[in-house]
Amino acid sequence: MPYSVYNDMEYKILFKDQPVVIIDKDSLSCLDALKHIGIKALDRVIAVKVNGRPCDLSAAIEPESTVEPVYIDSQEGLDILRHSASHVMAMAVKELFPGVKVTIGPAIENGFYYDFDFERPFKEEDLPSIEERMEEIIQKDLPFRREEISSREAIDRFKSQGETYKVEIIEDIGAEKVSVYTQGSFSDLCRGPHIPATGRIKAFKLIKTAGAYWRGDEKRAMLSRIYGTAFEDRKVLKQYLQRIEDAKKRDHVKLGRQLDLFNTYDEIGSGMIVWHPKGGILRHLIEDFEVKEHLKRGYDIVKGPQILKTALWEKSGHFDHYRENMYFTEIDQQSYGIKPMNCLSHMLIYRSALRSYRDLPKRYFELGLVHRHERSGVLHGLTRVRAFTQDDAHILCTPEQLNDEIKGVLYFVKDVMAIFGFEYELEISTRPEKSIGSDDDWEKATNALIKAVEENSLPYTINEGDGAFYGPKIDVKLKDALERKWQCATVQCDFALPERFDLTYIDKDSIRRRPVMIHRVILGSIERFIGIMIEHYAGAFPVWLSPVQAKILTVTDRNIAYGEKVLRNLIEAGIRVEGDFRNEKLGLKVREAQIQKVPYALVIGDRESQDEGVTPRLRDGSNLSFMKEGEFINHIQEECKQRR
């Protein structure tokens, strides 16, 4: 809740609109203002917002300002805490490693980093000593002092310290004055704000080291980055570190190898996934599911080629706006672009016939393989790749249908996310700087998205300037079992491409009009979605998605004949089943099936052989009671039908 501070003759401070104290205006800092207001839990306040702008607690407050406290456990508070911790880390590193040069140290999601230029890269082994030195600096409770100096003076000061990166930054800013923050012997160029003093850091941890280019530019110096995090107290930090540990156990690259789902090969190229048999069937199951769900919702299934003439990419605007992410090739002196998106073929299908308002909406669906060049540094497992399949569709509709179509997509997302057990949040992104289309179209499209979301009564946030170059979009961020957010579904509105491709329909009044195009994906990239799914389920997929649903384990060789019969019958019934008839200890066979996360291990002993049935053992070690073969088949088929 904002509080008002204003000046009529003297400073008055209002608390819930009631003047409570009148004080000497000469000594009024933001902290004083908060004290006089009587803000509760002042020890948890680490900064302040003045007229909505974050400030240091020590900053002087202007008359007529509105102030509100920033608490340490709010998102803004954590960002300020973590960023301040990066200053402390830089100070510790400078003290421990003479000759190191500092660059920048921002807060990021869940933590902070600082990039250093040193004669050698920092290693994990360096972190304990840096942490120890940080702890000493924190114990000293050094205040963060802010000063505003001329850029000239700042350049001289950082030059004399050999901090050439800082000099470069100040020269780039090109402002008359800059602000410098100092704690103890360490000064850093920074906008602020910061915590009042180093002692406010109660819980921090350095996480890892990595390489990073200065300003992300591969042609510039390779720097050494140290990642860390800080939280409001030790308990929350401990919970976070536990979540990181849990995430490591669920890492989809590790599980992908353990379950033999996929791999990448240097000989093929980085960021290109090769699906092994178990991953291949998993993909197939998801794609099959997608086709059924799309057909149910009135989509047509289409398919375009992998490479299209470059001239067409020029026409669509991709060549101008997306070229650096595309691959090109030449055949018979003709330049082709490998598709990074599936839109173009779909538009040509639409344009292949005369369309009437009665034909609309048209919903074209394609499981489209696209190639996008990503920098090698960002490639990771299935989540950042260079070739992936989108569950992509383009809906062409009249402007009047736009709202219903977007709502339909949002319902689709809701149904699918419920099946996979993901919660999600929505973000609406508006016009970016680099974009095509008129202001009017952008406004119409943005309003259509907001209206559809509001009519679905879904909460959303706005991302200013983060839209695609051809239109605004809704991004769906799903939350996995570890509360991590992943971007999957998007719904993008597009008034520009139908114009460029001269798409039309004949309206009721016989006049040719432009349809609106919606680009949308539900799961997004199948590769990425499977990566997220592996981590979400920790590799233990629900029965309907398990590459192997049941494994038959014989107790002794006497049971092989019956085991083989069960195997044949289950395969016949469409169940994905494997047999382990080796002459090995049963315990070993059971353990191996568990490591493979097979939902049902069917132990076949003498009783099962005699009574012609199975005793299913579950992944968690519990057992179902003995059942006849047919009963088990029904049981598993019912689970698949329910998508469990």
Distance in Å, CB of 198 to Zn ion, minimum: 13
- CA 57 vs. chain centroid, Å, equals 33
Minimum Å gap between C-beta 58 and Zn ion is 14
Report, in Å, the least distance between residue 644 CB and Zn ion.
33
* Positions 80 through 109 that interact with Zn ion (CB under 5 A): none
CB of 343 to Zn ion, least distance (A): 3
Q: Are 36 and 13 in contact (CB under 8 A)?
A: yes
Considering only residues 391 to 430 of the shown chain, the ones binding Zn ion according to CB under 5 A are: none
Q: Looking at this protein, which amino acid is placed at residue 196?
A: P
- Shortest CB 178 distance to Zn ion, Å: 12
Nearer to Zn ion, 82 or 519 (CB): 519
- Are the beta carbons of 178 and 200 closer than 8 angstroms? no
**For tokens 């902290």, what's the residue?**
31
Q: How would you write 591-622 as a 3-class SS string? A: HHHHHCCCCEEEEECHHHHHHCEEEEEECCCC
Residues 245-304 that bind Zn ion (CB under 5 A): none
554/560 Cα distance (integer angstroms): 6
Residue nearer to Zn ion on the CB measure, 264 or 342 = 342
Closest separation in Å from C-beta 195 to Zn ion: 10
Is the CB of 92 or the CB of 341 nearer to Zn ion? 341
The least distance separating Zn ion from the CB of residue 521, rounded to whole angstroms, comes to 9
Interacting stretch for Zn ion, rule CB under 5 A, among 58-66, 183-191, 260-268, 459-467?
Answer: 183-191
C-alpha gyration radius of the chain: 30
Considering the rule CB under 5 A, would residue 347 count as an interface residue with Zn ion?
no
Min separation Cβ 106 and Zn ion, Å: 9
DSSP state of 503: -
**CB closer to Zn ion out of 322 and 626:** 322
Choice between 343 and 349, CB closer to Zn ion: 343
Beta strand ranges found along 458-599 (DSSP E): 460-463, 473-479, 485-494, 505-506, 512-513, 516-525, 550-554, 577-580
112: left (phi over 0), alpha (psi -120 to 50) or beta: beta
| Strand pairing class (505-506; 512-513) | antiparallel
Stretch that binds Zn ion, among 301-309, 340-348, 543-551, 577-585 (CB under 5 A): 340-348
The first and second tokens of residue 375, run together, are 């920098």
Bridge partners for 390 per DSSP: 368, 525
d(CA 279, CA 285): 10
Q: Which one of 342-350, 398-406, 574-582, 631-639 is the stretch in contact with Zn ion (CB under 5 A)?
A: 342-350
Instruction: Name the segment binding Zn ion (CB under 5 A); options: 160-168, 202-210, 325-333, 519-527.
Output: 519-527
Amino acid letter for position 413:
V
Q: Tokens representing 245? A: 């540990």
Q: Which residues contact 399 (CB under 8 A, 6 or more apart)?
A: 444, 516
CA nearest to 496, candidates 451, 532, 462, 445? 445
- Residues 343 and 316: beta-carbon distance below 8 Å: yes
3-state secondary structure of 135: helix
**Rounded to whole angstroms, how far apart are CA atoms 383 and 481?**
17
Candidate segments 211-219, 273-281, 337-345, 456-464, binder of Zn ion by CB under 5 A: 337-345
Structure token pair of residue 112: 């902070």
Inter-residue contact 491 to 449 (CB < 8 Å): yes
From 38-46, 106-114, 189-197, 623-631, span contacting Zn ion (CB under 5 A): 189-197
Residue 574: DSSP 8-state: T
- Which of the residues are catalytic? 343, 372, 390, 392, 394, 473, 519
What distances in angstroms separate CA 404 from CA 359, 411, 453, 476, one per listed residue?
16, 10, 11, 18
Footprint (CB under 5 A) of Zn ion, residues 481-510: none
CB 362 within 8 A of CB 390: no
Closer by beta carbon to Zn ion, 190 or else 396? 190
Among 142, 159, 125, smallest CA distance to 87 is for 142
Q: Return the number of the residue (347 or 550) whose C-beta is nearest Zn ion.
A: 347
Size of residue set near Zn ion by CB under 5 A: 4
From 271-279, 517-525, 541-549, 627-635, span contacting Zn ion (CB under 5 A): 517-525
- Confirm or reject binding of residue 519 to Zn ion (CB under 5 A): yes
Spatial separation of the C-alpha atoms in residues 578 and 276, rounded to whole Å: 16
Q: How far is the CB of 255 from Zn ion (least distance, A)?
A: 32
Which x/- pattern over 28-67 shows residues binding Zn ion (rule: CB under 5 A)? ----------------------------------------
- Strands 334-338 and 274-275, sheet pairing: unpaired
Stretch that binds Zn ion, among 197-205, 216-224, 516-524, 563-571 (CB under 5 A): 516-524
| Distance between CA atoms of residues 307 and 337, nearest Å | 6
> Nearer Cβ to Zn ion, position 341 or 603?
341
Q: Which is nearer to Zn ion, 469 or 541 (CB)?
A: 469
Q: How far is the CB of 412 from Zn ion (least distance, A)?
A: 16
SS (H, E, C) 244-277: HHHHHHHCHHHHHHHCCCEECCCCCCCCCCEECH
- In angstroms, rounded to a whole number, what is the distance separating the alpha carbons of residues 311 and 297? 34
Write the single-letter amino acid at 256.
G
Nearer to Zn ion, 190 or 545 (CB): 190
Residue 343 interacts with Zn ion (CB under 5 A)?
yes
CB of 182 to Zn ion, least distance (A): 11
Comparison of 57 and 598: residue with beta carbon closer to Zn ion? 57
Q: Give the binding site for Zn ion (CB under 5 A).
A: 190, 341, 343, 519
